Amino acid sequence: MTLAFVTPAHDRMEDLRREPHKIEALLASPQARIYRARGDLIEVEGERPRISHVPLGDAAIFLGLAADGVPLFAEQAPESATLAPLRGLMLSGALPHEELTLLAQARSLVHWHETHGFCAKCGTQSEMKDGGYRRHCNACNADHFPRTDPVVIITVTWNGHVLLGRQSSWAPGMYSALAGFMEPGETIENAARREVWEEAGIRVGKVGYVQSQPWPFPSSIMIGLTGEADTHDIRIDHHELEDARWFSFAEAQQMVARTHPQGLTATHPYAIAHHLLLKVLER
Ligand SMILES: [Zn+2]
DSSP string for residues in 44-101: EETTEE--BSS-SSS--EEEEE-TTS-EEEEEEPPTTS-EEEHHHHHHH--S-HHHHH
Ligand 1 centroid from CA 39, angstroms: 25
Ligand 1 centroid from CA 86, angstroms: 33
Q: Write down the pLDDT at residue 220.
A: 97
Average pLDDT, the chain: 96
Ligand 1 centroid from CA 126, angstroms: 7
> How many CB atoms within 10 Å of residue 4?
27
Q: Tell me: the pLDDT tens digits for 179-205?
A: 999 999 999 999 999 999 999 999 999
Closest CA to 253 of 271, 278, 229, 272: 278
Percent of the chain with pLDDT over 90: 97
Segments making up each domain of the chain, as ranges: 14-115, 116-146, 149-281
Collapsing DSSP to helix, strand or coil, 1 comes out as: coil
Q: Tell me: the pLDDT tens digits for 135-188?
A: 999 999 999 999 999 999 999 999 999 999 999 999 999 999 999 999 999 999
Q: Write down the pLDDT at residue 1.
A: 63
Q: Tell me: the pLDDT tens digits for 104-130?
A: 999 999 999 999 999 999 999 999 999
Ligand 1 centroid from CA 252, angstroms: 52
Phi, psi of 63, rounded to the nearest 5 degrees:
-85, -30
Ligand 1 centroid from CA 119, angstroms: 5
Question: Which contiguous run of DSSP H or E holds residue 180?
Answer: strand 178-181
Ligand 1 centroid from CA 122, angstroms: 4
Collapsing DSSP to helix, strand or coil, 192 comes out as: helix
Closest CA to 272 of 2, 1, 3: 3
* Helices 249-257, 272-281: inter-axial angle, 10-degree rounding: 140
Q: Write down the pLDDT at residue 2.
A: 83
Say yes or no to pLDDT of 270 above 90: yes
- In the chain, the amino acid numbered 117 is G
Burial 127-159 (b: 16+ CB within 10 A, else e): ebbbbbbbbebeeeeeebebeeeebbbbbbbbe
Say yes or no to pLDDT of 283 above 90: no
Ligand 1 centroid from CA 140, angstroms: 4
Ligand 1 centroid from CA 185, angstroms: 26
In the structure, what pLDDT confidence band is assigned to residue 59 with cuts at 50, 70 and 90?
A: confident
C-alpha distances in angstroms, 192 versus 3, 222, 269, 275?
21, 12, 22, 17
Ligand 1 centroid from CA 254, angstroms: 55
Per CATH, domain 149-281 is 3.30.565.10: no
Q: Write down the pLDDT at residue 154.
A: 98
Collapsing DSSP to helix, strand or coil, 189 comes out as: helix
Which chain residues have CB less than 5 Å from ligand 1, an ion?
119, 121-122, 124, 137, 139-140, 142
Say yes or no to pLDDT of 238 above 90: yes
